[in-house]
Structure 1
Amino acid sequence: MNATTFLTFFLITITIGVISWYKTRSEKSNTIAGFFLANRNLGFISVGSGLLFANINTVLFVGENELVFTNNLSVMAWGMTSVIAMLAVSEFIMPIYLRTGIATTPDYLEKRYDSSTKKIVSLIFLVNYIVNLLPSVLYGGAVAFNGLFHFSDHYGIDYWTTIWILVWMMGSIGGLYCILGGLRAIAISDVLLGAAMFTGGILLPWFGLRYLGNGNISEGLAVILSSKTEHMKVIGAANDAVPFSTIFTGMLLVNLYYWGTEQYTVQQVLGSRNLAVSQKGIALAAFGKILSPLLINLPGLIAVHMYSSMQNTAEVFPRMVSDVSPPLFVGYMAAILFGATFTTFNAGLNSASTLFILNVYKSDADEKKLLRIAKKFEIVICLLAMFIAPFIIFARGGFYNYLQMIGGFFSVPIFTIILIGFLTRRVPAIAAKVGLVFFIVAYGATQVIFDTGLHFLHVLALLFVITSAMMLIIGRIYPMKVPYVRELSNVVDIVPWKGRHIYSALLIMMVVAMYVVFTILS
């Protein structure tokens, strides 16, 4: 293990931790609003950075670069369609959340349907965090760190044992950081990591191209543009990892769920000091998603020209970083990966305890007792995630695609009942419950019992249409006796950002330009 690499990683990580502590030492996190929502006082940079780093983590670094290496750049569609979804959420969904003064997305379901629907969805969220989100982040972080520091080689430990050790180290540290700091500490570290990530996003492709060109960047670029160009395809065919047609069906729905419904994502925005700040923060995060291929896609493309084969393709990204970069920069990237792992992991822990305390536990106890219970709950789910994470090594079909497929059990069903709640006034609570059960059971059947021959994203879109129709029919036959009326509880100013439409148009143009440029180059 290179001493310079480890020292750089250690110093950057400690510096970010110290700055986060210093900036939050006077903040009150001993209340529900302080611990879970940062006292609703986050600025747009904190909101944007929090959103971006709740999303960009080692799952993306490891998973998307692996898919580019084994397939092509069609996987970039996940990030590009996120921009469209984020803008839709900013314009139509976030104003509703802030106007109603909710602290969790299931809170809206209680207002729209009933308390049992809220509790059911809260439990679905918690299951998702325990079996999918938190373990995958820890596993991705373990894979990345072993690839960067080569622990298994240096210490003669088998790969399986190494993953276990790294998962438990990161889970323990991340859990402690979240329990002590709450959302405000997470937001501060996100801002610092955001600046570091964009710097790394510029330098890493530069080092990679220089490596390919034997010291000459232009020659390295020529190598990519002249050989193995099939990996540069952004318009995925039917047999590719991400067929282009899925962009307009299930992928858009999954992204709308993720940015507009997923609790650990939405919670970053619910801490905004007003609606305009939340919309600016979302626009900043959308811009970050447009730049993110520099780190989560291009390294995989460069690696295609470096390695003819690889025994464990999940290590494409960390191995490429280790091989092309000087020791100082390897340590720098390790610190970014370390931080990216913790921000998503900590956001998930914080949101899970929010859901449990506010939506499931529900007690009249004082705030101090509730916070103690919340922190104990975080410890429990942290331990569960650390037990589950190493077993993801046995996932088939690619780490990233596997996670997206599993996520389908939780994502689009919840988005469906929330969307119908937004658009209608008489669809009753029973329709939401029937819709949830039907969607989850039917999707599970298509993925486990019988093969439809359709991509899982197309299956999600088809079930979305069927479930929506079913809910509308139930609402027609058994409508609510009293139509739902949205109650306003403006805990923050809800005047929208005046410049949002101009920036939205610019962001959409950038997305289109990304596809045009890569299509021409390929």
Structure 2
Amino acid sequence: MNWLILTSFLFFTSIVGLVSWYKSRKSKLNTLNSLFLADRSLSFLLVGGGLLFTNINTATIIGENELTYTHNMSVMAWGMTSVLAMLLVSEFLMPMYLRLGIATTPDYLIARYSPGIGKLVSFIFLISYIINLLPSVLYSGAVAFNGLFHFSEIWHTDYWTTIWILIWVMGTVGCLYSLLGGLKAISISDTLLGLGIFAGGLFLPFFGLKYLGQGSIMQGLHTLLHTHQEHLNSIGSNSDPIPFGTLFTGMLLVNLYYWGTEQYIVQQVLASKDLKSCQKGIAVACLGKLISPLLLNIPGLIAVHIFMHLDNSAEVFPKLDSLVSPPFIAGYIAAIIFGAALTTFNAGLNSSSTLFVLNIYKPWMEKRSRQTTEKSMIGIAKRFEIIICLTAMLIAPFIIFVKNGFYTYVQIVNGFFNVPIFTIMFMGFVTKRVPAIAAKIGLLFFIVAYGLTQLVFDLHIHFLHILAILFVITCGLMLAIGKLYPMPVPYRQKLNNVVDMKPWENRHIYSGILLLLMVLMFILFSPLVLAK
């Protein structure tokens, strides 16, 4: 082990932990609002940092670099198209959420359809977090750390055992952080790490190009741009993980779900101190997504020219970092990777306990006419976090056996949960009389039909196109049920403003600039410019 890398890693990780503790030390976690929503006090930088770094986790860093290495830049579409989705969410969904004063996205479904629908979706969220989000973050973090520090060689253990150990270490640390710090500490560390990711995004390509050019950055850049140019193409073909056509079908729906419905993401924004901070924070996160290919994709491109073959392509990012970066910088990037794993893991834990306590446990106690105090519910929330943390740590090591790439696996499994939930949310937004039974039937139909296409029948259609097709069919089904059995009284929003609802005046100007930059990124990484 290179002890300078380890020292650097511990140094930067300690700084983030200490600053997060110092900034949040006065926050008392003695109410559910403080534990789950940071007392609705987050500034736009904390909102933007929380959104960006909760999204950019180890699964993203490891997975996107792997697919860039094995295929091309088409995988960057996940991040680039997020800009459009986030701006739509900022303009239309977040103002509605803040006017309603909700704490979870199922709260909207409770108001729009029925308590039963809200409880059902809360269960689906929890299943998604327990079997997919939390395990995938822990697994990718363990892969990254073994690649950086070569623990399996140092400990003289096989790869499987090493991954188990690292997963349990990371899960334990993450659980403690979430239990002791709450959402505010998570948001502060997200912001610090968000700043760090920009620096890391410059450091690793810099040293990678220098290594590639045998000491000359310009020579390394020349090699990158003029050799293996097919890897520079972001316009994916049907043989790529992300065909270009999917950007306009399932990927748009997945991103709208993720940024506008996913609890552990939306919870970062619901904690805004006002609508203006919310919209500014989302714009900051959009800018971060435009810069993120420096860390998420460019290292994978550089690795194409350095590693002719890797037994485990998921290790491409950590292997490149440990090879080309000076020890001090390698430790710094390792700290970013560690933080990326923990921030998403912590946010997932916090959101899981939010969903369980507010949408499942509390209504259940009220139904049984039992009194619940804030203190008792905080205790329940923390015990629940421990249970799902242990469950995720048990599941995570088995991701090693998936095929077709780790990141593709994560997105395919997400399809069982994300667009089905977004579909009933969308129908709730655009209709007033579609009843709760339509939402239940729509959810069941979508999940079962998608499962059949992925597990039983091979339709030879990309899973993102299948999600779009099922979205249209399910919307039609729900409209038909709404026509036959409409709600007697149309739904009306009940406003409960808990923050200032004055919007950000200049948002449309900045939105236009961000969308233009998004389009230019696709043009740059296309056969029109770099991928000739």
Band of TM-score, shorter chain: over 0.9
> Where does residue 232 of structure 1 map in the other structure?
232
What's the counterpart of residue 483 of structure 1?
Answer: 490
Partner of 1:521: 530
Q: Could you say which residue in structure 1 is the equivalent of 2:368?
A: none
* TM, length-normalised to structure 1: 0.99
Q: Where do residues 282-431 of structure 1 align in structure 2 (5 Å cutoff)? A: 282-362=282-362, 363=365, 364-431=371-438
Equivalent position of 1:181 in the other structure? 181
- Describe the SS at the equivalent of 1:208: helix
Amino acid at match of 2:440: K
Percentage identity across paired residues of the two chains: 62
DSSP-derived class of the 2:525 partner: helix
Once residues 463 and 496 of structure 1 are traced to their aligned partners in structure 2, the CA distance between those partners, rounded to angstroms, is 35
Tell me, in whole angstroms, the C-alpha distance in 2 between the residues paired with 1:354 and 1:220: 48
Residue 314 of structure 1: CA displacement? 0.4
Give secondary structure in 2 for the equivalent of 1:521.
coil
Deviation at 1:155, TM superposition (A): 2.0
1:244 matched to which residue of 2? Answer: 244
Structure 1 residue 156: deviation in Å? 1.4
- Cross-structure match for 1:280: 280
Cα distance in structure 2, aligned partners of 1:214 and 1:466: 56
Q: Secondary structure at the match of 2:97?
A: helix
SS at match of 1:26: coil
Distance in 2, matches of 1:398 and 1:366, equals 46
Q: Look up the match of 2:72.
A: 72
CA distance, structure 2, for counterparts of residue 427 and residue 115 of structure 1: 15
2:225 partner letter: L
- What does the per-residue CA deviation read over 1:83-119, in whole Å, with 9 as the maximum and x for residues that have no partner? 1100000001101100001000000000000000000
Matches within 5 A, 1:502-521: 502-519=509-526, 520-521=529-530
Aligned ranges 1:14-93 → 2 under 5 Å? 14-93=14-93
Letter in 1 for 2:130: I
Q: Secondary structure at the match of 1:28?
A: coil
Q: CA deviation at 1:453?
A: 1.1
Task: Tell me whether 409-418 or 24-33 shows the greater mean CA deviation.
Answer: 24-33
Q: Which moved more, 1:27-36 or 1:260-269?
A: 27-36
Match of 1:443 among 423, 447, 450: 450
Deviates more, 1:120-129 or 1:218-227: 218-227
- Residue 62 of structure 2 aligns with an amino acid whose one-letter code is V
Task: Note the 1:458-473 alignment, pairs <5 A.
Answer: 458-473=465-480
Give the distance between the partners of 2:334 and 2:468, measured in 1 at CA: 38
- Looking at structure 1, the residues matched to 295 and 225 of structure 2 have their Cα atoms a distance apart, in angstroms, of 19
String of CA shifts for 1:331-385, please: whole Å, max 9, x gaps.
0001000111010000000000000000010133100110000000000000000
Query: What is the CA-CA distance between 1:66 and the residue it aligns to?
Result: 0.3
Task: Give, in whole Å, the separation in 2 of the partners of 1:113 and 1:3.
Answer: 57
Deviation at 1:513, TM superposition (A): 1.0
Aligned to 2:106: 106
Question: By how many angstroms is 1:59 displaced?
Answer: 0.2
Counting only pairs closer than 5 Å after superposition, residues 207-218 of structure 1 correspond to structure 2 as: 207-218=207-218
Question: What amino acid is aligned across from residue 241 of structure 1 in structure 2?
Answer: P
RMSD: 0.6
- Over residues 204-251 of structure 1, what are the superposed CA-to-partner deviations in whole Å (9 max), with x where a residue is unaligned? 111000000001001001111111111111000011110000000000
Shift of 1:71: 0.5
The residue identity in structure 1 corresponding to 2:120 is: I
Q: How many residues align?
A: 522
Q: Provide the TM-score with structure 2 as the length reference.
A: 0.98
- 1:1-33 per-residue CA deviation (whole Å, 9 max, x = no partner) reads 111110111111111111111111111221000
Q: Distance in 2 between matches of 1:73 and 1:382?
A: 34
Deviations, residues 260-293 of structure 1 (Å, cap 9, x unaligned) = 0000000000000011110000000010000000
- How far off is 1:424 after superposition? 0.5
| Residue identity matched to 2:40 | R
Distance 1:225 1:418 in 2: 44
Structure 1 residue matching 2:207: 3-state secondary structure: helix
- Deviation (angstroms), 1:443: 0.1
What is aligned with 1:96?
96
2:462 to 455, 472, 483: 455
Report deviation, 1:38.
0.1
Distance (whole Å) between structure 1 residues aligned to residue 107 and residue 227 of structure 2: 53
Task: Kindly provide the amino acid, as one letter, of the partner of residue 365 in structure 1.
Answer: T
Unpaired runs of 5+ in structure 1?
none
State the distance in 2 between where 1:53 and 1:225 align: 29
After superposition, residues 106-145 of structure 1 pair within 5 angstroms as 106-145=106-145
